[in-house]
């Protein structure tokens, strides 16, 4: 059984204003270990992609 719902945490992180996964996890009280890093490997990359998509959409609306 998984201790954390990583998919839900990923969604929360992507929608949050945190600059790094480590600060997000620290505020949630989740210690960073090898298994934690494995579970959060894609979070920051996905957030960057989502942020890029939002900026692109916002720039298109200004025309």
Please tell me the predicted confidence (pLDDT) of residue 1. Answer: 42
Q: Each residue of 24-60: pLDDT tens digit?
A: 999 999 998 888 888 888 888 888 777 666 666 676 6
What tokens appear for 35 in the block?
Answer: 């298994």
Residue 46's pLDDT is 83
Question: What are the angstrom distances between the C-alpha of 43 and each of 4, 5, 53, 60, 63?
Answer: 15, 13, 15, 26, 31
**pLDDT of res. 38:** 85
pLDDT of 10 reads: 92
Kindly report the backbone phi and psi dihedral angles of residue 36, in degrees, each rounded to the nearest multiple of 5, phi listed first: -65, -45
> In this model, does residue 13 exceed pLDDT 50?
yes
What are the boundaries of each domain within the chain?
21-61
Q: How many CA atoms lie within 13 A of 28 on its CB side?
A: 20
């Amino acid at each position: 059984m998984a201790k954390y719902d990583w998919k839900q945490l990923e969604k929360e992180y992507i929608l949050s204003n945190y600059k790094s996964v480590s600060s997000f996890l620290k505020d949630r009280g989740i210690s960073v270990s090898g298994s934690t890093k494995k579970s959060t490997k894609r979070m920051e990359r996905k957030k960057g992609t989502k942020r890029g998509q939002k900026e692109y959409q916002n720039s298109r609306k200004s025309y």
